[in-house]
Structure 1
Amino acid sequence: MGGPASAAPATPAPTVDYVIIAGIPGLRWEDVNAQDTPTLWSMAERGSIASLSVQSADQPTCPLDGWTTLGAGNRALWSAGPASPPSPGVACPDVTVDVERPDGIGAFLPEQRNVVRHNQEQLPYGAVPGALAESVRCTVAVGTGAAVAAARPFGRVDRYEPELPPDATELLDDCVLAMVDSGTVAAADPAARQAQARDADARLARLLAARPPDSLVIVAGLSDTDDSRRLHVVVADGPGWERGWLTSASTGRDGYLQLVDLAPTALTATGRALPENVFAGQPARSVPGRPEKLDAAVTQPADADREAGAQRRIATWFFGLLAAAQFVLAVAVVPLLRRARMPVESASPRFGFHGWVRRTSKAARPRPLAVPRPVVNVIEVLLVAAALAIPAALVADAVPWWRTDQPGLLFGAVTLALLAAGTAAVRFTPAYRQTLGPLAMVAAIAAVVVAADVLTGARLQLNGVAGYSALTGGRYAGLGRVGLGVFVAGTLLVAGCLAQRVRRTWRPYVVGGVGGAGVLLAGSPYLGADAVGAIALTAGVGIAAVISTGGWLTFSRLGWATIAGLVVTAGFAVLDLSRPDAERDRLGRFLGALGDGTGGRAVQRAAASSVGSLDSPLTVLAVVGAVLVWFALLRPWGGLKRLFGIYPAIRAAMAGIATAAVIGGVLGGSGLDVAGAVAALTVPMAALASLRVLDHALDRTQPPVAPPDAEIPRPAAPGPLPDARRSEAAGDPSGAGAEDGDERRPEAAPAPETSSDQRHEQGGGVRLAAKVLPWNPVDGAINT
């Protein structure tokens, strides 16, 4: 839905005397219209509306789990032990709840104690079923589901009726809080769903007719009814809730609420204080900006529901196909890397570093044939396309592909079209011929796409295939896991490419400046709203800055990077803790949990989230990328060490990317999702750049073959090797041990006819026979 990333300002609603929550599990916005549900339609016209994410302690959220989560104000389950989720396409099991009525006024749920014990001891959320009922003096429950939500932790329901009586005025006037089970909309057939929605609307009409004055009525589709997870209806009708969007600090986006927000909303609406460290949600409020006509307003949450439902299916196969494509490319790149630096066998003499020598000992040894240039060109273009796949999928969400009968086909077509356009733009840019040209352009495109989305409200990431889903309840605004990975990789690679073009002493400042801008965008509560991601990026920028001038990560450099990271982390922590509890990010909530003694559960939830995300295709992307880097690119024939030796700023950027990916995944509880997004962008570009430096390796180190009748002079006395050559001779082919890190080749002994001993300021010159051709270390090629 097209709401802004941060909720609009709102005037606090006046308190009311009564709150009534009518639950209709399964009710979606597509079920609501003026003909079939006239009562709910009238409520929506008067009140405020939103899409409801019904995340409980497990997925899918079945009806009893939804009612239990409502009563707990936290993610919970109605189960005294492990429960089997429904199979795909199968309805939630019909669980019988034993409701005893010993006095005919209230009720007693004998299973409630076991449910509370299971949620407290076996689940990481620390939910207390019945916490909402314990926060008020008296509750009314109508129907079995409402009894589950209104039961106190020991099982007592203050006032209970199995059905809403013909005249419910006295019943609803008894207690300040009432919960009413208004039926379930669970049918898959459209006609049957309409009939169930009409029955629920009729019960709602009787409820509204008996509502007390000065009351707030909340209608909510509390749960799913099968494995097809969807967004559901929530409407609030009462004084101060007129004609707006519902939102809360837990979502930070207009038009979205979580199921766990309903309990604190009920207490806040009656002027009661919230219990400490019990509720996971935040009170809802009404904000302006809704279209005047309800027809236009309802299309937005209905459209968001369709998009979120389609995103769940398409994201799985998109990242699965991307992982498969990158695996195939990795297999295709390995033989190219091995053949890229094959010497040309010849029995004729050549000019070596110490004069003319003959090469005949290996002439008879068979060598693999060189890879044709067209094949190399095709592989390079495919590597560019693979790296641009996630940014293209992100931009594709600007097209409403989910509104068609075949959303997957349209999304695939739009993504391929954008991917072809982006790849062509990179390929036909003059900078493509440079060694770092494709890497710099792809990184810039990725960083700009994510930054532009965040600056405009993160509309592309919300419910987008390459973004995050409102169904999971993890994030509704700002940077998501995939977006963070792409942004980290793009920002640091751009910083490395820019730093490589300046003098060595200026490189740390360039990396720090570009990376600092990325940290501010990621960590700002009004933009990226991801303090954990900002801390991870800060660590990556610190590592990249201190080794951007070349050399290794010494203890002193690590110390400076650590100090910078701690300062930035402390700054974000102070900023987050200074905000109200309802507006804190994950960092502030975690530090608050440490302060009140509940930090163990926060760590347990993060660990459970990390483990649960390991079955994602992004994990496959991370593993494929790591295998290609470790077993191919970092081999002596892989070219990555040579790339790092020639371009120390790129080596620094990639070290920072790896650091940020690990920290972002660990602290964010996202497993290898961030690393997978990082690998999808970085590994193909590292492979392409390695191919480029290997392709130019012979041009820089092997002069042309001398003519057959050339006189071979006596070799000159060898002098001390320069630092870079000494490192290579000692087994470090990257030359990273050189002071500057730029590739510097040793001077060849001059031929008799040579009268010049020119050297270039950067990278020196490469002497071919009697002529020195300037080599540009930025382009990675000889300027002819």
Structure 2
Amino acid sequence: MLRRLTPVLLTLVVVALGITALSARPDDGATRPGADFVVLVGAAGLRWGDVDPENTPTLWRMAEQGAIGSLSVRSAHRPTCPVDGWLTLGAGNFAAWPGTRPGGGCPATGVTIERPDGIGANLPDQASAVVHNQEQLSWGATPGALAESVRCSVAVGPGAAVAAARPFGRVDRYAPSLPENPAELLGSCVLSIVDVGTVDDDDPAIRAAQARQADARLARVLAARPPRSLVLVAGVSDTDSPARLHVAIADGPGWEGGSLTSPSTARSGYLQLIDLAPTVLAVLDKPMPERAFLGRPAVTVDDRPDDLRAAIEAPADADREAAAQRRVAGWFFTLLAVAQIALAVAVLPLLRRARRLAGPHGPEPVSRRIVAVVELLLIAAALAVPAALLADAVPWWRGDHAGLWYASVTALLIVGGTAVVRFSPGHERTLGPLGAVAGLATLVVGVDVLTGSRLQLNGVVGYSALEGGRYAGLGTVGLGVFVAGALLCGGWLAQRFRRGWRPMVMVTVGGLAVVIVGSPYLGADSIGAIALTAGVSVAAAICSGGWLTVSRLAWATMAALAVTVGFALVDLGRPADERGSLGRFLAAVGDGTGGLTVHRSSSSNIQTLVNSPLTVLALAGAALVWLALLQPWGGLMRLFGIYPAIRAAMAGTGVAVGLGGVLGGSALDVAGAAAALVVPMAALAALRVLDHSTDRTVPDSGRPGGQVGATPPDGGPAGGGAAGGAPGRDDGATSPDADAPPPAHGAAPVDDPATSDGAATSDGAETSDGAETSEGGERDPERPQSAGERRAPRVPAQPAPAAGEIPAG
């Protein structure tokens, strides 16, 4: 009965942990006060590096008394040109102006603005822009949704006219330039949008002059602002490639001090351009248009430094880091893919010669020094991504040669991590390096997530605020490394327990990982949590031995579906501003816009599959596993036979990263990040298993009671505990049965050629003395041997005696 109830209990545990991960986010003290008027001031290209007390005193004073943040100006087009930024501002969704952009830059032509009555204005091309965004782009944006949500709006300047135009092109009130005294104009409507110019020159002197002109216009706006009004200042767009972070300031009653944030970013100090439109309506207490806005209203969080210069330096430094990250990330992943492919090619001859034969003929074994060097290189390759993540703790982007500084720090961390693994206890064991590397990788990513994912934000192996896809929690690369590390840790730990306890160990470790990944205030990745749940369920089903039978697959599928349903129900029950990606998708399905989400995900999968270096890494890792490691000479099948929990962990990793990548729109990126960790460790463990493939055991009755210690293979550590073999056993094998008769003297199990490649024959069978053997019928070389056994040295096979000759002995 207990055996039958185990899958049910495991399913309930995983479901409970998964639903716990979606518990409501605690109150962070964020506030969103109201106002009678909103004045939205935009300056294309304005960055925090342009703000200083001497050149832009108005911006400096406004930042001192208001709330500040870094603005991501992502739109439906990259880079976000000024016309795209203004259109996105008015749509509250990712939008783009129709037309071609030669060379990937921004067009020099402006937008046609007609003034038929001298009061308002008309944009004759607005209707085509609406059709372009509704029918040809996948975001479903409605240009003019913000203006349609208020009774009256004012636009000053051509950029503001694009943002304030209604879907049919009408601007309620329009002035081509800012009047000397704009008080009457700004007070005529509850919403005013003002274009104070563009800051776009690369020359520092000219750029400073442009920022000074925008600051002077802003001073006139502040002097004429209506009573009880909120003034929002935003650098609404880029002006050329590459993208940058821009200025965001909110000044008004209730917005004094603090940092700006938004539920769309879930990161203090960051908000998106699409958040400004819903912020305006929330402040004015206007209803949000149905299905139009993708952004969320901004709020303030009181966590800003008291020193204004330090407070402004933080977003400016983040802009520099994000800009440097784009340049460095490309060559890092390219070099990582090249290095791992070269290492995989170098491992192939070692795999062919690693298995030492017992006969007089065979290939010469590879030098121990060469094998040791290759093992260190495999460990270093597996630690490359965790070391690269940890390197972002050092401000490498502030130097003149940012790429060189980053490479140096990462190399030092890789060397340090490799040394830690090399000199860690149990390194000589077959699974010693695998467990140490998986533990380090899980620790680095897990600690970063638990402390706010500061290393992943704008990090080389993290995510960039410039891309606008994620601002908090686990990124694509972090998810792949964390999933692989957690499952390998679970498999390594489960292998040290009895077979009956292994599923519990795997579920415990995997369940904690699910909570970290899926929690909205930790990993914040519900899709990743669902994928990891499926992987944990598969790993728990087969970690005690055997294959993925129909019943085991059924229970694993039920657990994954149960967590998915639990996530969906809890997420849908939360407020719209706090829903995760799963809840937003289900809500979109309910209102008929789910097809856009599916289209965006499929398009993202295709683009990522073609353009990402991680795709090469994933395919190269799969080729090495399939064409080499899983071959009879590759050693991986032998490893799986001896260590079924490791086989389960790797199978669960494959399921989790495959689902997480496809459902999350990142194609093979998650799998590529996981392969960077798993494949080198699989190759190293396979080399060590092949090295012990001819180890044999013989009984030893020389000790009292038949109890002996284990003789380590090739001078390696015994790995045993006290007499009797219970403590220290790597897979939790049972203690020798005292009532069982001792084996006959001289009897010794030998390798069966039919099963020497690790083919499963006994599926976790137990010997007559109660000691568990592997699935392949071989004893675990890491584990202390049962009573009455010791490891015998390899003896070359003797040639057959000649005819008539009496054999010696």
TM range (shorter): 0.7 to 0.9
After the TM superposition, which residues 455-534 of structure 1 pair with which residues of structure 2 at under 5 Å, given as runs? 455-534=450-529
Q: Give how far 1:609 is off.
A: 1.7
- Partners of 1:776 and 1:782 within 8 A in 2: no
Amino acid paired to 1:45: E
Question: 1:115-264 alignment to 2 at 5 Å?
Answer: 115-264=129-278
Which residue of the other structure, out of 632, 637, 661, is the alignment partner of 2:633?
637
* Change in CA separation of 1:259 and 1:775 when aligned onto 2, cut-off 3 Å: closer
Residue of structure 1 in register with 2:76 after alignment? 57
Shift of 1:578: 2.1
Tell me how large the CA RMSD over aligned residues is.
2.6
1:678 aligns with 2:674: yes
- Residue 95 of structure 1 and its aligned partner are, at CA, apart by 2.4
Asked if 1:429 is matched to 2:421, the reply is no
Provide the TM-score with structure 2 as the length reference: 0.85
Match of 2:293 among 279, 283, 288: 279
Residue 665 of structure 2 corresponds to: 669
Q: Is 2:764 the partner of 1:740?
A: yes
- Equivalent of 1:624, from 620, 629, 649? 620
2:773 maps to 763
Q: Residues 78-131 of structure 1, C-alpha deviation per residue, up to 9 Å, x if partnerless?
A: 11x5x33645xxx52212211111111111111111111011011110000111
Contact between 1:7 and 1:253, CA under 8 Å: does it hold in 2? Answer: no
Given that residues 470 and 476 in structure 1 are in contact (C-alpha distance below 8 angstroms), is that contact kept between their aligned partners in structure 2?
yes
* Counterpart position of 2:654: 658
Give 1:345 deviation, angstroms.
5.1
Of the structure 1 ranges 610-619 and 297-306, higher mean CA displacement relative to structure 2 is found in 610-619
Q: Compared with structure 1, are the counterparts of its residues 688 and 85 closer, same or farther at alpha carbon in structure 2 (3 Å cutoff)? A: farther
What's the offset of the Cα at 1:701?
Answer: 9.3
User: 1:702 offset after TM fit, Å?
Assistant: 13
Distance in structure 2 (CA, Å) of the matches to 1:252 and 1:235: 18
CA distance in 2, matches of 1:657, 1:14: 46
Cα separation, 2, equivalents of 1:370 and 1:737 = 29
Retained in 1: the 8 A contact 2:154–2:171?
A: yes
Aligned to 2:464, the other structure's residue is in SS state: coil
For 2:300 and 2:134, the matched residues in 1 are separated by: 33
The residue type paired with residue 187 of structure 1 is D
Q: Give 1:759 deviation, angstroms.
A: 6.3
Please give the residue correspondences for 1:351-430 in structure 2 after superposition, counting only pairs within 5 Å. 368-430=363-425
- 2-side partners of 1:291 and 1:7: how far apart? 23
CA distance in 1, matches of 2:664, 2:143: 27
Structure-2 residue corresponding to 1:706: none
Structure 1: unaligned runs, 5 residues or longer: 347-362, 704-720, 745-757
- Cα separation, 2, equivalents of 1:500 and 1:732: 21
Q: What is the match of residue 754 of structure 1?
A: none
How far, CA to CA, are the matches of 2:785 and 2:166 in structure 1? 71
Distance 1:201 1:697, change over 3 A: same
Q: Quick check: 2:38–2:230 contact (8 Å CA) kept in 1?
A: yes
Residues 638-662 of structure 1: per-residue CA shift (max 9 Å, x gap) = 1111111111111110000000011
CA distance in 1, matches of 2:540, 2:30: 46
Structure 2 vs 1, CA of residues 11 and 253 (structure 1 numbering), >3 Å: closer, same or farther? closer
- Counterpart of 2:703 in structure 1 is none
CA change 1:13–1:370 in 2 (3 A) is closer
Deviations 1:149-203 (A, max 9, x none): 1111111111111111112111111111111111111111111111110011111
CA contact (8 A) 2:635 2:686 kept: yes
Q: Is the 8 A contact 1:466 1:482 kept in 2?
A: yes
Q: Secondary structure at the match of 1:698?
A: coil
Native 8 Å contact 2:698 2:792 kept in 1: no
Q: What does the per-residue CA deviation read over 1:537-577, in whole Å, with 9 as the maximum and x for residues that have no partner? A: 10000000001111111110000111111222222222222
Q: Retained in 2: the 8 A contact 1:735–1:741?
A: no
Change in 2 beyond 3 A, CA 1:389/1:601: same
Shift of 1:739: 2.2
Contact 1:7-1:252 at 8 Å conserved across structures: no
1:36-75 deviation line (CA, Å, top 9, x unaligned): 1011111111110000011101211111110110010000
Residues 773 and 621 (structure 1 numbering): CA distance in 2 closer, same or farther, change over 3 Å? Answer: closer
Aligned-residue offset at 1:763: 3.3
Q: Which residue is equivalent to 1:752?
A: none
Structure 2 residue corresponding to 1:293, chosen from 298, 301, 307: 307
Q: Give the SS at the match of 1:609.
A: helix
Distance 2:697 2:476 in 1: 43
Match in the other structure for 1:571: 566
Q: 1:22 corresponds to which letter in structure 2?
A: V
Q: Deviation at 1:734?
A: 2.2
Shift of 1:699: 2.6
Report Cα offsets for 1:634-683 as digits up to 9, x if no partner: 11111111111111111110000000011101111111111111100000
Per-residue CA deviation, residues 755-782 of structure 1 (Å, 9 max, x unaligned), is xxx9672339x99xxxx99954489995
Residue matched to 1:74: 93
Asked if 1 retains the 8 angstrom alpha-carbon contact of 2:33 and 2:255, the reply is no
Q: Distance in 1 between matches of 2:168 and 2:209?
A: 37
Compared CA separation, residues 459 and 232, structure 1 to 2 (3 A): same
Corresponding position: 1:602 with 2:597: yes
Which residue in 2 is equivalent to 1:34? Answer: 53
Query: Is the contact between residue 98 and residue 110 of structure 1 (CA under 8 Å) also seen in structure 2?
Result: yes
Alpha-carbon spacing, 1:12–1:342, altered in 2? closer, same or farther (3 Å): closer
Structure 1 residue 12: Cα displacement? 3.6
CA deviation after TM superposition for structure 1 residue 533, in Å: 0.9
Alignment of 1:690-701 (within 5 A): 690-700=686-696
Which amino acid letter does the alignment assign opposite residue 119 of structure 1?
A: N
Contact kept in structure 1, 2:133 and 2:141, CA below 8 Å: yes
Residue 541 of structure 2 is matched in structure 1 by 546
Aligned position for 1:711: none
Distance 1:700 1:191, change over 3 A: farther
> Does structure 1 residue 559 correspond to structure 2 residue 554?
yes
Per mean C-alpha deviation after superposition, the further-off stretch among 259-268 and 570-579 is 570-579
Question: Which residue does the alignment assign to 1:268?
Answer: 282
**Matches of 2:285 and 2:276 in 1, distance apart?**
14
The secondary structure found in structure 1 opposite 2:75 is coil
2:14 maps to 1:13: no
Q: Matched residues in 2 for 1:588 and 1:229: separation?
A: 30
Partner of 1:97: 111
Contact 2:694 2:751 in 1 (8 A): no
Q: Which residue of 1 aligns with 2:445?
A: 450
* Contact 1:661 1:674 (8 Å CA) reproduced: yes
Residue 562 of structure 1 aligns to which amino acid in structure 2?
Answer: T
Q: Is the 8 A contact 1:550 1:736 kept in 2?
A: no
User: Counterpart amino acid of 1:484?
Assistant: L
- Deviations along 1:403-437, one digit per CA (max 9) or x if unpaired, are 11111111111111111111001112231100000
Deviations 1:596-627 (A, max 9, x none): 11111111111122222221111111111111
Structure 1 position 646 matched with structure 2 position 642: yes
Mapped to 1, the partners of 2:169 and 2:661 lie a distance apart of 40
**Which secondary structure state, in structure 1, belongs to the residue aligned with residue 331 of structure 2?**
helix
> How far apart are 1:530 and its partner, in Å?
1.1
Paired AA for residue 85 in structure 2: G
Distance, in Å, in 2 between the alignment partners of 1:64 and 1:548 is: 57
* 1: CA distance, partners of 2:779 / 2:563: 47
Q: 1:84 aligns with which of 101, 109, 130?
A: 101
TM-score in terms of structure 1 length: 0.88
